[in-house]
Amino acid sequence: MIPGRLPGFLQAPTRFLFFTGKGGVGKTSLSAAAALALADAGHSVLLVSTDAASNLDEMLGVTLRNAATPVPDVPRLSVLNIDPTTAAETYRQRVIAQMDTASTPAERATVREQLSGSCTTEIAAFDEFAALLAEDSGQFEHVIFDTAPTGHTLRLLSLPKAWSGFLADNDRGASCLGPHSGLKMQESRFRTALAALCDATQTTVILVTRPDAGAITEVARTAAELHALGLDNQRLAINGVFHASDASDATAGALQQVGDRAIAHLPDALRALPCDAIPLRTFDTVGLPALRALLQGDTGPVRVPTATNLAAPPPPPGLNSLADELALQGHGLIMVMGKGGVGKTAIAAALAIALVHRGHSVHLSTTDPAAHLATTVNGSLPGLSVDRIDPEAETARYIARVLAQRGPALDEAGRALLLEDLQSPCTEEVAVFHAFSRTVSQARSAFVVLDTAPTGHSLLLMDATGAYHRQMVRELDSGGTAHIVTPLMRLQDPAYTRILLVTLPEATPVSQAQALQDDLRRAQIEPYAWILNKSLVATGTQDPLLQARLEGERRQMQRIAAGLAARCYTVPWLATPPIGIPELSRMGDP
């Protein structure tokens, strides 16, 4: 029996619970806390992360694997991470095993290389996701999904319908994912997954947001897109609701006003949903005690022993200092990366505007499927061009180019088969990579500031970049004579590319920035600097709850200063959202 004081989404929960929303709103914390509450109440629970940048391991104190792993000290709870790399290798082995026994080692090597791109990674991860939805053994009473940030999650949830339609209309040839017969074998699984997603008695989608206008706007759009996919059983969870202890405290009063205003202007579609409000807590949601306390209504917070009166290191310089350094280069690629919800889009826009103010022409773009860039800039500035890598437009452009190049040499049946294969959902991944490559090359003569998708999606793009690099090098080694410069080589060149990692002054975002930095270093890409966004330390707040949170912020500042970042810059918490060129211009002040 679930205690009544817990949120409504834990009262008579369906078997499948999806937590989705903009990055940084607390999906992982809420999904982990929900899984823990159900397990404590006697239910067998599997908690699944579909985010390549998941931090469930840090929260629960367990090493994530691509298999259900019991959580220590929680007898009925297991956790599983759908790791794209592991899933892709398993998928490759399965496809190669289906090849004719007479195939040569060279033919098998060719197929393995064809299956090294990001589209294979995506379908492999989806295949495991679909298996969980189609599984009917009843091993777990509840399966809770901690999803990647919105754009990537919508892509994942749309795949059952996309692949079912593709397979139904295409019964010949092979897709870029390997022997087509292998995909046809999975068709029933895809259809079962789609049925489970759309069945309100089996699946509930919890739309998670912060009391913030931008996050609420995105979750409203997500709700509409999920309705279009047939996922109608939705709830709203507003995480981090803050009430000031003393309205005279300027920072606390402004923080509460921002939240109150956002909640008061909820779109009608969200206002109609069942809603749970989770208070802002004084503690980081790391460890079982903190996760158990997170959903306990308005009861007092868990007290984890910490050092007191921590002195913050000298405050890092602001964005103006960073813009001065970047401007000295005269041109180049500036990639802004990090976990969803840390403020990458605003930081990227503010730096682009700062470089324009310093006399440079700047192309500002984004690889994020959620694409908030134009809304954030909300205006025009001479010397600044703003666009986005639009997956739909790039896919249509790519298909037209392939048909123009290869179509004339084919007969009518061959052209029809080629077009059929190009309708595969993974074509989009290839098209987006080509658009990314074009954007990277523009930095040879001007500044290109690239606002990237949240970490997991960006890492898949990096995978595609690496696969393309390996293919080009192999072709050169096999007889080519031309010198090549691949996108990966440009990203590895510190004179060409500056990688900026954005994080928040909290334990989980800092850990995720560190993990992203490790991933980049494995690809021989060295980050140039870290940016600590939304810092409360400089505000002088005396609110008791915020004061308690400052203790954790100082601890993270010390952690970064101890050697995580070669350079660090800071942006304070702003009462006015950084939307529009005037507000973005003011972000440069420390």
How far is the C-alpha of 460 from the C-alpha of 368, rounded, in Å?
12
Classified as helix, coil or strand, 388 is: coil
How far is the C-alpha of 561 from the C-alpha of 57, rounded, in Å?
24
Per the annotation, the verdict on 539 as an active-site residue is no
CA 193 to chain centre: 22
Nearest residue to 323 (alpha-carbon basis) of 357, 281, 300, 364: 357
Per the annotation, the verdict on 24 as an active-site residue is yes
Q: Please pick, among 20, 21, 22, 29, the residue that the annotation labels catalytic.
A: 29
Q: Please pick, among 24, 182, 318, 466, the residue that the annotation labels catalytic.
A: 24
- For residues 462-483, one letter each, b for 16 or more C-beta atoms within 10 angstroms of the residue's C-beta and e for the rest, the string is bbbbbbbbeebeeeeeeeeeee
- Which pair of tokens denotes residue 321? 């200092």
How far is the C-alpha of 420 from the C-alpha of 176, rounded, in Å?
12
Q: Please pick, among 26, 151, 182, 552, the residue that the annotation labels catalytic.
A: 26
Per the annotation, the verdict on 318 as an active-site residue is no
Q: Please pick, among 51, 127, 368, 451, the residue that the annotation labels catalytic.
A: 51
Q: Please pick, among 22, 27, 339, 344, the residue that the annotation labels catalytic.
A: 27
β-partners of residue 208 are 237
Instruction: Give the orientation angle of helix 187-198 with respect to helix 118-134, to 10 degrees.
Output: 60
- Which pair of tokens denotes residue 328? 């000295």
Q: Please pick, among 508, 511, 541, 570, the residue that the annotation labels catalytic.
A: 508
How far is the C-alpha of 453 from the C-alpha of 403, rounded, in Å?
29
**Beta-strand runs (E) in 173-320:** 203-209, 234-241, 275-279
**Which residues touch 10 (CB under 8 Å, ≥6 apart)?**
2, 34, 37, 38, 295
**Which residues touch 50 (CB under 8 Å, ≥6 apart)?**
82, 125, 129, 145, 146, 147, 148, 153, 156
- Which pair of tokens denotes residue 361? 């022409």
Q: Please pick, among 20, 28, 251, 439, the residue that the annotation labels catalytic.
A: 28
Classified as helix, coil or strand, 178 is: strand
Per the annotation, the verdict on 26 as an active-site residue is yes
How far is the C-alpha of 487 from the C-alpha of 499, rounded, in Å?
14
How far is the C-alpha of 45 from the C-alpha of 281, rounded, in Å?
25
How far, in Å, are 102, 463, 468, 485 from residue 473 at the CA level? 29, 15, 9, 10
- Name the residue with tokens 């994020």: 368
Classified as helix, coil or strand, 365 is: strand
- Strand order through the sheet with 275-279: 69-71, 74-81, 45-49, 142-146, 16-20, 203-209, 234-241, 275-279
Cβ atoms of 61 and 72 within 8 Å: the answer is yes
**Which residues touch 198 (CB under 8 Å, ≥6 apart)?**
229, 230, 231, 232
How far is the C-alpha of 189 from the C-alpha of 196, rounded, in Å?
11
Active-site residues: which are they? Answer: 24, 26-29, 51, 508
